Amino acid sequence: MGKEITSRAQDYSQWYNDLIIKGSLADYSAVRGCMVIKPYGFALWENMRDVLDRKFKDTGHQNAYFPLFVPKSLFEAEEKNAEGFAKECAVVTHYRLIADPDQKGKLKVDPDAKLEEELIVRPTSEAIIWNTYKGWIQSYRDLPILVNQWANVVRWEMRTRLFLRTAEFLWQEGHTAHATAEEAVTETKLMLDVYADFVENWMALPVIKGVKSPNERFAGAEDTYCIEALMQDGKALQAGTSHFLGQNFAKAFDVKFSDRENKLDYVWATSWGVSTRLIGALVMAHSDDDGLILPPKIAPTQVVIVPIYKGEEQKALIDEKVTAILRELKALGISVKYDDSDNARPGWKFAEYEMKGVPVRMAVGARDLENQVVEIARRDKKEKTTVPIEGVALYIKELLADIQQYMYDKAKAFRDEHITPADSWDEFMNILDNKGGFVAAHWDGTAETEDKIKELSKATIRCIPLNNPLETGTCILTGKPSTQRVLFARAY
Amino acid sequence: MGKEITSRAQDYSQWYNDLIIKGSLADYSAVRGCMVIKPYGFALWENMRDVLDRKFKDTGHQNAYFPLFVPKSLFEAEEKNAEGFAKECAVVTHYRLIADPDQKGKLKVDPDAKLEEELIVRPTSEAIIWNTYKGWIQSYRDLPILVNQWANVVRWEMRTRLFLRTAEFLWQEGHTAHATAEEAVTETKLMLDVYADFVENWMALPVIKGVKSPNERFAGAEDTYCIEALMQDGKALQAGTSHFLGQNFAKAFDVKFSDRENKLDYVWATSWGVSTRLIGALVMAHSDDDGLILPPKIAPTQVVIVPIYKGEEQKALIDEKVTAILRELKALGISVKYDDSDNARPGWKFAEYEMKGVPVRMAVGARDLENQVVEIARRDKKEKTTVPIEGVALYIKELLADIQQYMYDKAKAFRDEHITPADSWDEFMNILDNKGGFVAAHWDGTAETEDKIKELSKATIRCIPLNNPLETGTCILTGKPSTQRVLFARAY
C-alpha cells in the first residue's frame, strides 16, 4: 500500500517516528531539533487546545501574552529556576545582519549590532511574567491573578524526538498569583485535576496523579504535582505538571501586596503547563502496527466515507445517498470527510485512513445501496460490520462513544496490569527489565538514594501518588525504613 | 475619576498611548520594543483571530506550524527578501548559559556553546516554509497547498509603538503554493477580500483595496495588494497585505512540480498577513477623549450591567431581576458582565467601562425596578435612554447592531471626506499639512519621483486602488504625463 510502518516488535522507536511522519502529523525541519507540525497534526492540536482553553476559562482564567524574550538579568533573578534552565537556553546576542563583504549575496551578523544585554528565548515564562506582575499587584484587591498563555518556548535539548522532546515546542503556561499559600495550593491541585480530566476523558489515557520527589521538582518550585501516563513499551511519560511556587518568584522580583490589615507580604504563586508533547503520548499509548488510532473526541476527522463504484452512473447514485448521510452526521456535530477523489483506489484510501487513525470508516458501494446498507469499520478494534443506512448517523454517534470508552478501558487495563509491587532490589530490576511499567517500591526518602537508584536502574520516581496509602516497609536499595511505596519507572 | 486621558487635541500620540495603557489592552515590558498584551487586549485579539480563522477555513485553508528559527543560509536564499529584513533581525548565536565565575549568582553566555550557523528569529516565514514545501511538492496532485500559521514574529524596529510597531508581534501568515500564476493571483485577491470583509464588517473600519507601487512592495513579492485605512489624525494605516510572490521563492528553494503533461515548472506562491497592529488601527480610528470605543462584533464584553443600590435588600431585588436579564442576553449570544463588585462606586464603574469601550452599559437602580425600567447608555454616541425591562434583551441586540453600523458609517464619512484630489504640488502639500487624509494625485510612475515626493512631503503612495479609473493628467512633482491618480498619504 505504499507506506510501510516498522512494527512495534521490530523497533518501537522507529515505529513511533514512522507513525508521526507517515501519519502526516509532523515533519523534520531544517532547524536542529525543531519540527514542522503539519496540517493534520495541527488540527489535532487545535482540538486539544480548544478543549483545554474552555476548561481554563470555565475555571476563571484569562489568556494574555508576554514577550518571547527574557533579558538575562531577569532570567537569572530566581536562581534555582535560572540554574535549572541555563544549560538549554537559546540566546539572542545581535539585532542586525549586513551584507557579507567576502561572499556576494550572503549575509553576516553585524558586529556593530551587539545587544547590550543578551536576550534569552523563553524556556518558560515565570521570570518575565513575575517582573510584569510587580506592576500589577499592590493590594489584596488585585489578587488573585489567574492568567494563562498559549505560546512557543525553546529548550535546547541535546537529544530530540518528534513531539516528545523538541527544541521548540508549543504549550500553555498558566501563571497565577494569590494572597495566601492555601489558595495557591488549591489552585495547583485544581489545575492538576483539569489536566487529568482532559487526558483521561478526551485523550482516553488513564493517568496517575501525584507529587514529584524533591529531585524531580520544577526548578524554582516548592512542590510539583504531575500526571503520569504509561506507554505501550512500558515506559512512563509525564503528561502535565502543576507547580506550587511558594513565594520564590515574588521574592526574586520583589512582588508584595498589602493585605486587609494593610500588612505587606510577598505574593504566592503557581504555574502549570501541558505541551505538544501530549500528542506524542497519544500516539505512543494507543496506536498499532497499522498506524495511528485517535480518540474520537479529539480526532480531526471522526468519520471518513469512501465510495466504491464503477462508472459515473454508480458514482452519482452513491453521491446522492452520501449527501444525505453527511447532512445527518454534521447535524449530530460529527466531523466527517467524504473522500471521493479519483486519484486513488478504495484499498489505498482504506490504508491511508487507517494510518491516520480516523476512528470510523464508512464504505458505500453500488451493491450496498441496493441492499440499503453501508459497511462500517472501526479503527480501534479493526472490526467491520454491515449497517442499514436508515439510522446510520445515530449508529455512528454511539459507535464513536463506544470507541472512546474502549480505548480508555484498554489503556487502563494495560496500565493497571503494569503497576507491580517490588520488595527487593532484584525483584525491582527484574520488573523493570522484563515487564516494564510502574514499580511500587519502598524508598528511604533521601535524594542520595533516589540518585543512586536512577544511576543503577535508569528508573526515576515518577510520583508519590495523591492519597497514597501509608505502609511501613524498607527501602529496596538501602533497607532503611520507609512509610509508603512510591512509583518508579523508566520514562520518556 | 482617577484615570486621566490626554485629549486628542492636546497630544494625539499620547492620547493613543493612554488609551492602550489605561484601557487595559497592553503594557510596556522589560524587553525593548516588546509589549505585554493584557487579558482585556488579548480577549479582543482572540475574538478577531477566531473570526479570521473561520474565514480562512471557509476558504479552504488549514493551519500548521513552522519553526521560530530560520538558519541563516535559508534566510539569505531569496536575496530580495533577505535584504529587506536583514537590518531588523534578532539573531541567536549561542545555546547555553553558564555560571559567571566573576559574579556570584549571575550567568553568562557560554563561549563554548556557539552555534555553527546562526539562527534568525523569523521576521516572516517564507524561507523556512518554502524550504519545507520542497519536500511536500512533486506533482500537480500535491497542489495547491493552502496553509496558514498563527505565530509570533520579531522585527527589530528602532522606533516602536504599542500594537502599531513592536519588536515582537502576533500575526497570521498564509503561505500558499499553486500550479499556475493565474491561480496564485486569484488566491492573492481572494485573501485581500477576506481581509477587507473582516476589517469593514467586524472592525467597522472602511478600507481602500489597492496594489502597492514597486517601492512599497513586500521584499520578494511580484505584487503586493493591500487594504488601507484612515485614522482620526488624517494619517493612513496599512491594515493588511496579500502578496503574489511569483516563482521567486520556488526558484530560491528549488521547488518544482511536474504538471499534467509531465513537464517540470517552478511553483507559484502567495503570502498574506494581518497582525496585532489591527488593534492599534481599531483604537486610533474609533476612540474618543473618554476612552476606547469597541465595535460590538468583536468587543470582549458587549454589555456591562451596573447595579445602583443602598443596602442588601435593594441589592437582592436587583440581583434577582438582573439574573433574568443575564439569562435572556446570553440566550441571544450576547456577552455580558454583571459588575456588582462592592469595591467601587457606580460613577467610577461607568468611567471605567467607558474607558474600556464596552458598547452598551445598563444601570439598574431600585427606583428603576419600581418603574420596570433600566437605563441604557451606548458608548459610541454617549446617549442614555430609559427602556422597559420587558423586552430589554431584544432591544439591546438591535442596539448592538445599530452601534456597529453607526461606527462604520461615521468612520466611512470621515474617510470619504478625506480623499482629496490635488493637481499641483502646492495643493498637494497644503492638503497634507492642513487637512490630512488621502490625496489623489497624478504621478509619473517612476520610483525616482516616488522617492523624491516621499523625501519632500513625508507622504508615500499608499496604493493604486483596484479598478482605479484611468484619467490623463500630469505628475504633481515632475509634470510628466500620467494615466491615473494614485493615493498618497502620510502613514503609520
Straight-line distance from the first to the last Cα atom of chain A, in angstroms, rounded to the nearest whole number: 32
CB A437 within 8 A of CB A412: no
Q: How far is CA B323 from the centre of its chain?
A: 36
CB A108 within 8 A of CB A97: yes
**Helix A12-22 / helix A277-286 crossing angle, nearest 10 deg:** 110
- Give B172's strand partners: B150, B274
What pLDDT, on a 0 to 100 scale, did the predictor assign at position A464? 98
Q: How far is CA B274 from the centre of its chain?
A: 6
Percent of chain A exceeding pLDDT 90 equals 98
pLDDT in tens, B15-61: 999 999 999 999 999 999 999 999 999 999 999 999 999 999 999 99
pLDDT band at B343 (very low <50, low <70, confident <90, very high): confident
Q: What is the residue whose three cell numbers read 528553494?
A: B253
User: How close B116 comes to chain A (CA, Å)?
Assistant: 11
Residue B408, Cβ neighbours under 10 Å: how many?
A: 18
Average pLDDT over residues A67-77: 97
Average pLDDT over residues B88-98: 97
pLDDT at B330 over 80: yes
The pairing of strands B360-365 and B336-338 is: unpaired
Instruction: Write the single-letter amino acid at B226.
Output: C
Task: Say whether B87 and A66 touch across the interface (CB within 8 A).
Answer: no
Selection from A23, A10, A19, A79 nearest residue A300 by Cα = A23
How many residues in total does chain B contain?
492
Task: Say whether A95 and B156 touch across the interface (CB within 8 A).
Answer: yes
Give the separation between CA A405 and CA B234, rounded to whole angstroms: 61
Give the separation between CA A244 and CA A261, rounded to whole angstroms: 25
Straight-line distance from the first to the last Cα atom of chain B, in angstroms, rounded to the nearest whole number: 32
User: How close A199 comes to chain B (CA, Å)?
Assistant: 23
Give the separation between CA B354 and CA B381, rounded to whole angstroms: 11
Residues of B whose CB is below 8 A from A63: 39, 42-43, 46
Coil, helix or strand for A305? strand
Residue A414, Cβ neighbours under 10 Å: how many?
A: 16
The pairing of strands A168-178 and A145-154 is: antiparallel
Contacts of A296 (CB under 8 A, 6+ apart): A302, A359, A360, A400, A401, A403, A404
Average pLDDT over residues A83-111: 96
pLDDT at A165 over 60: yes
Task: Say whether A64 and B76 touch across the interface (CB within 8 A).
Answer: no
Write the ipTM. 0.97
pLDDT in tens, B416-458: 999 999 999 999 999 999 999 999 999 999 999 999 999 999 9
pLDDT at A1 over 90: no
Chain B touched by A77 (CB under 8 Å): no
pLDDT at B162 over 60: yes
Indicate the helix (H) or strand (E) that contains A199: helix A181-201
Q: What is the residue whose three cell numbers read 484587591?
A: A141
The DSSP call for residue A107 is E
Grid cell in block for residue B16 = 493613543
Selection from A66, A25, A24, A73 nearest residue A45 by Cα = A25
Give the separation between CA B186 and CA B178, rounded to whole angstroms: 10
Q: How far is CA B29 from the centre of its chain?
A: 20
Coil, helix or strand for A133? helix
CB A201 within 8 A of CB A296: no
Chain A touched by B67 (CB under 8 Å): yes
User: How close B170 comes to chain A (CA, Å)?
Assistant: 9
Q: What is the phi-psi region of residue A454: left when phi exceeds 0, alpha when psi lies from -120 to 50, beta otherwise? A: alpha
Nearest neighbour of B135 by CB, restricted to A27, A91, A99: A27
Q: Give pTM, 2 decimals.
A: 0.97
Q: SS3 sequence, chain B?
A: CCCCCCCCCCCHHHHHHHHHHHCCCEEECCCCCCEEECHHHHHHHHHHHHHHHHHHHHCCCEECECCCEEEHHHHCCCHHHHHHHHHHCCEEEECCEEECCCCCCCEEECCCCEEEEEEEECCCCHHHHHHHHHHHCCEHHHCCEEEEEEEEEECCCCCCECCCECCEEEEEEEEEEECCHHHHHHHHHHHHHHHHHHHHHCCCCCCEEEECCHHHCCCCCCEEEEEEEECCCCCEEEEEEEEEEECHHHHHCCCEEECCCCCEEECEEEEEEEECHHHHHHHHHHCECCECCCCCCCCCCCEEEEEECCHHHHHHHHHHHHHHHHHHHHHCCCCEEECCCCCCCHHHHHHHHHHCCCCEEEEEEHHHHHCCEEEEEECCCCEEEEEECCCHHHHHHHHHHHHHHHHHHHHHHHHHHCEEECCCHHHHHHHHHHHCCEEEEECCCCHHHHHHHHHHHCCEEEEEECCCCCCCEECCCCCCEECCEEEEECEC
- Give B374's strand partners: B387
Compute φ and ψ for A417, nearest 5 degrees. Answer: -70, -15
Q: Is B387 exposed, middle or buried (0-12, 13-18, 19+ CB in 10 A)?
A: middle
By C-alpha distance, the chain B residue nearest A169 is: B67
CB B303 within 8 A of CB B335: yes
Chain A touched by B66 (CB under 8 Å): yes
Geometric angle at alpha carbon A462, from A26 and A50, rounded to 5°? 40
Handedness of CA B295, B301, B303, B306 (dihedral sign): negative
Chain A touched by B94 (CB under 8 Å): yes
pLDDT at A160 over 90: yes
> Average model confidence (pLDDT) for chain B?
97
The DSSP call for residue A435 is I
Residues of B whose CB is below 8 A from A82: 97, 107
pLDDT band at B2 (very low <50, low <70, confident <90, very high): low
User: How close B173 comes to chain A (CA, Å)?
Assistant: 14
Task: Say whether B31 and A96 touch across the interface (CB within 8 A).
Answer: no
The pairing of strands A208-211 and A223-230 is: antiparallel
**Helix B311-331 / helix B392-417 crossing angle, nearest 10 deg:** 70
What pLDDT, on a 0 to 100 scale, did the predictor assign at position B4? 87
Average pLDDT over residues A78-84: 93
By C-alpha distance, the chain B residue nearest A109 is: B91
Residues of B whose CB is below 8 A from A30: 67, 71, 74, 128, 131-132
pLDDT in tens, A21-49: 999 999 999 999 999 999 999 999 999 99
Give the separation between CA B16 and CA B288, rounded to whole angstroms: 10
Grid cell in block for residue A150 = 498559549
Chain B touched by A95 (CB under 8 Å): yes
DSSP line for A19-88: HHHHTTSEEE-SSTT-EEE-HHHHHHHHHHHHHHHHHHHHTT-EE-B--SEEEHHHHTTSHHHHHHHGGG
pLDDT at A356 over 60: yes
Residue A164, Cβ neighbours under 10 Å: how many?
A: 21
CB A62 within 8 A of CB A147: yes
Q: Which domains does chain A have, with CATH numbers?
A: 12-88+121-286 (3.30.930.10), 303-414 (3.40.50.800), 419-489 (3.30.110.30)
CB A227 within 8 A of CB A199: yes
Show which of residues 256-315 on chain B sit within 8 Å of chain A, judged by CB atoms. Answer: none
Contacts of A327 (CB under 8 A, 6+ apart): none
CB A23 within 8 A of CB A355: yes
pLDDT in tens, A255-283: 999 999 999 999 999 999 999 999 999 99
Burial B256-287 (b: 16+ CB within 10 A, else e): bbeeeeeeeebbbbbbbbbbbbbbbbbbbbbb
pLDDT band at B1 (very low <50, low <70, confident <90, very high): very low
Compute φ and ψ for B240, nearest 5 degrees. Answer: -175, 150
Average pLDDT over residues A450-472: 97
pLDDT in tens, B282-311: 999 999 999 999 999 999 999 999 999 999
